[in-house]
A and B are shown apart, each in its own frame.
Chain A
Amino acid sequence: MKTVFAVAILILMAGSNCALATNYSMGCVEKYSGATGFTTADDVSLTCDATDGFSFWFNLFGGHRLRFYWHDTLVWPSDYTEDSFGGNDVNEIDWSSADLNVFSGHGSCQNPPTASSPDFIVTAKNGIGRGPNFVNINASLRLGEFPGSGVFGSNGNLNTLMINASCPMDLVSLTTQWWPVFQGLHLAMGHSGDVNHDNLDSAQKLPTVGLYLGPFFGSSYRTAWMSAGLIDVQSGVCAVITATGRTEAEAELRRDFETPTNRIPDALPPTWIAWRWVCS
């Protein structure tokens, strides 16, 4: 095992983009009721505490750059939606120097999900109603399309998407719902569950992930999400991390060893998807 690890590190270091800092952005929604179509029954309590705590550890000494941190009704569906689909991700989470985006808010669960069940994140833009704020991940997100991809433009650069919500990455539909999203995106992580097996509203999970990824502990995304992703979840929930690459080895290398500051350079088109999950 140590040999596998050593080889992986060597490969990663040989071809990696070592950066001292990352550009990250965050969006959190607690007060959905500020947007038309939602009521106070939709509000949550700790999703912004969670991102505050994540950022506290992740950027403890200001070494990273927080570009945008939208709260509540400033978290819009267009922030996540591919610009060639009519969204504005090019100026938001998928801007040209984007490294990491963290979303913390509602997802939407099926009971149970099937292979064709869509995954969602739920934003809170005022004035457009409830339905348009349900962002269908498969239909709307195309991330990381840097110059050369050509399919959805060449203006995105997001490397990592982290979602703290209910059921945004259901395992059963992972390869159908998430595969098209990876247009250069390296990694995405979220939770799999259903109505009765939920990711809890928590101010401990994301801060612990931030502690693991921060400047001191310095772990990979895989270690952080697999170790701390099950804090405050109900039994039956899984923490899931997914990556893509041109080869199986590249996809696995990204999934298992990328860190915020040590990434394999972009190279399209990906043909392999690698995923890993841990269940409570």
Chain B
Amino acid sequence: MTLPSEIRQAIRLVCCAAALCLAPVAQAQDTAAEPAATLKQRDISGEEQGDLSKRIRERFPQTSGKEAKVSAAGPFRFAATEQWHYMDRSDTESVAFEDSGYGIGKQPLDAAAIQQDSLLPHLEAAMLKAGLNPEGKRFLRFQDEFSASAEPRLLPPTFDPSKAGTHVARTAFYERMVEGVPVFGSELIVGLLPDGSIGRLRMHWPKVDPQFIDSARVLQKMVQSDRWKVPPSLHRKETEILEVSAGVGHSGIATPGFKMAPVVRVLYRTQSRDRKYPLQTTGYKYFEERGQEVRFDSFPRVSATPAARKPKLSKAAK
């Protein structure tokens, strides 16, 4: 018996729709506008350049007055002078900025001004003033920066370089949580210059599809109820699982393309058993619902130098 083609087509459509509805976890989506291999320098139109300059001036008032060198490659746009460096990407709305004077002061930071209670509201206000209001940010910790110098020949044997520094910068580091779901790969660091303007910023905070949040919640329940299992690739006697958590993951700011997916992140540590020469690897891997690894960051391969070009060792060399 054969069915008319219209009916066969209808059955196919119904089956596909059913499969989509039944799938509890949304599939990863590549939203890469610009594959890495085709990332090319491009011209910036006068209109785009004007828009870029306006955006930079509004966000970082200290940038006014100097002609910046502007360039672009795919969704990445850059502007720089000797005093500051700026980058944004149009596909993810990410932005990075660094004032070259950030952390350069010789005097230690005012201890009272950098207490969490007083500093965080200032950071919040500076970000709002710059038009940056990332949703779901959660302060995690400060990144404290120190500088020091010495003449080694004059140092006592008890000298501890970690205690010799001047505290020159304090940068706030935030993680991202959307409705109870962590977003892995999002980052926000921000620090202020003494005049209260932003001196260091990196914000990679791409929009998250609500469907991914829903799917990540399903994964969270699977992890909590032990229905999601750590894949066999991490079942080794040398490997300790440090943390398993479900959320939404995505590519980093420097990854030329962009990919986002609901995932389970497994933080692990592998330690060799060699007592004399121990080694360890700490890292995380992302997996989808069925345990397939998901990789968010890929770059064009740079060819390794062939073995034939390895310089010969002298007989005395090891």
* Chain A residues packing against B (C-beta within 8 Å): 1-2, 4-5, 8-9, 32, 38-39, 41-46, 49, 51-53, 55-57, 60-61, 66, 68-71, 74, 76-78, 81, 83, 86-88, 91-92, 106, 108-109, 115, 122, 128, 130-132, 134, 166, 171-175, 179, 192, 195, 198-204, 207-208, 210-212, 215-220, 223, 226-228, 230-231, 234-235, 248, 251-252, 255-257, 271-280
Taken residue by residue from 96 to 109, chain B's Cβ proximity to chain A (1 for < 8 Å, 0 otherwise) reads as: 10101111111000
Q: B78 near A223 (CB under 8 angstroms)? A: no
Q: A207 near B299 (CB under 8 angstroms)? A: yes
A203 to B251 Cα, complex, angstroms:
10
Q: Which of B44-73 contact A (CB under 8 A)?
A: 71, 73
Q: Residue on B with the closest CB to A134?
A: B277
Total A-B pairs, Cβ < 8 A: 253
From B41, B271, B299, B305, A56 is in contact (CB under 8 Å) with B299
- With a cutoff of 8 Å between Cβ atoms, the chain B residues found around residue A52 in the complex are 299-302
A235 to B142 Cα, complex, angstroms:
10
- With a cutoff of 8 Å between Cβ atoms, the chain B residues found around residue A32 in the complex are 279
Taken residue by residue from 180 to 193, chain B's Cβ proximity to chain A (1 for < 8 Å, 0 otherwise) reads as: 00000101010001
A-B contact pairs, 28 of them (CB 8 A): A2-B83, A41-B270, A52-B300, A60-B73, A66-B302, A74-B304, A77-B318, A83-B317, A88-B313, A88-B314, A88-B317, A130-B274, A132-B318, A175-B161, A198-B280, A200-B283, A207-B255, A212-B96, A216-B73, A217-B78, A218-B80, A226-B103, A228-B202, A248-B151, A273-B149, A273-B152, A276-B147, A278-B171
CB distance from A31 to the nearest CB of B (A): 12
Q: Residue on A with the closest CB to B267?
A: A200
- With a cutoff of 8 Å between Cβ atoms, the chain A residues found around residue B298 in the complex are 49, 203
CB distance from B309 to the nearest CB of A (A): 7
How many residues on chain B are close to A (CB under 8 Å)? 95
Q: B160 near A44 (CB under 8 angstroms)? A: no
From B41, B238, B307, B311, A92 is in contact (CB under 8 Å) with B311
Taken residue by residue from 240 to 257, chain B's Cβ proximity to chain A (1 for < 8 Å, 0 otherwise) reads as: 000000000000111110
- With a cutoff of 8 Å between Cβ atoms, the chain A residues found around residue B284 in the complex are 200
A122 to B279 Cα, complex, angstroms:
9
From B104, B278, B302, B310, A108 is in contact (CB under 8 Å) with B278
Q: B150 near A41 (CB under 8 angstroms)? A: no
Q: B150 near A203 (CB under 8 angstroms)? A: no
Q: B307 near A219 (CB under 8 angstroms)? A: no
Q: B76 near A227 (CB under 8 angstroms)? A: no
A68 to B284 Cα, complex, angstroms:
29
A259 to B82 Cα, complex, angstroms:
11
Q: A218 near B316 (CB under 8 angstroms)? A: no
Q: Which of B125-160 contact A (CB under 8 A)?
A: 141, 143-153, 155, 157-160
From B83, B273, B301, A41 is in contact (CB under 8 Å) with B273
Q: B193 near A272 (CB under 8 angstroms)? A: no
Q: A251 near B149 (CB under 8 angstroms)? A: yes
Q: A69 near B304 (CB under 8 angstroms)? A: yes
A26 to B281 Cα, complex, angstroms:
20
CB distance from A110 to the nearest CB of B (A): 10
Q: B143 near A279 (CB under 8 angstroms)? A: yes
Q: Residue on B with the closest CB to A276?
A: B147
Q: A275 near B236 (CB under 8 angstroms)? A: no
Q: A70 near B318 (CB under 8 angstroms)? A: no
Q: B149 near A248 (CB under 8 angstroms)? A: yes
A245 to B275 Cα, complex, angstroms:
39
CB distance from B284 to the nearest CB of A (A): 7
Besides A45-B283, A61-B41, A109-B280, 13 new A-B residue pairs in contact (Cβ under 8 A), listed by A number: A1-B101, A38-B272, A44-B281, A56-B302, A60-B39, A81-B317, A122-B279, A130-B277, A198-B269, A203-B252, A203-B297, A204-B297, A272-B151
A153 to B113 Cα, complex, angstroms:
51
- With a cutoff of 8 Å between Cβ atoms, the chain B residues found around residue A201 in the complex are 281-283
- With a cutoff of 8 Å between Cβ atoms, the chain A residues found around residue B143 in the complex are 230, 278-280
Best-buried of B144, B272, B281 by chain A (most CB within 10 Å): B281
Q: B283 near A46 (CB under 8 angstroms)? A: yes
- With a cutoff of 8 Å between Cβ atoms, the chain B residues found around residue A60 in the complex are 39, 41, 73
From B106, B146, B160, B302, A4 is in contact (CB under 8 Å) with B106
Given the known inter-chain contacts A1-B194, A55-B302, A77-B318, please indicate yes or no for A42 contacting B272, CB distance below 8 A.
yes
From A51, A131, A174, B277 is in contact (CB under 8 Å) with A131
From A74, A211, A252, B254 is in contact (CB under 8 Å) with A211
A220 to B192 Cα, complex, angstroms:
19
- With a cutoff of 8 Å between Cβ atoms, the chain A residues found around residue B307 in the complex are 74
**Contact of B225 with A by CB under 8 A:** no
A92 to B279 Cα, complex, angstroms:
25
**Contact of B87 with A by CB under 8 A:** yes
Q: A56 near B145 (CB under 8 angstroms)? A: no
Q: B160 near A218 (CB under 8 angstroms)? A: no
Q: A9 near B82 (CB under 8 angstroms)? A: yes
A43 to B187 Cα, complex, angstroms:
28
Q: A42 near B87 (CB under 8 angstroms)? A: no
Q: Residue on A with the closest CB to B277?
A: A130
**Contact of B85 with A by CB under 8 A:** yes
CB distance from B75 to the nearest CB of A (A): 13
Q: B149 near A4 (CB under 8 angstroms)? A: no
Q: Residue on B with the closest CB to A67?
A: B305
- With a cutoff of 8 Å between Cβ atoms, the chain A residues found around residue B279 in the complex are 32, 41-42, 106, 108, 122
- With a cutoff of 8 Å between Cβ atoms, the chain A residues found around residue B189 in the complex are 227
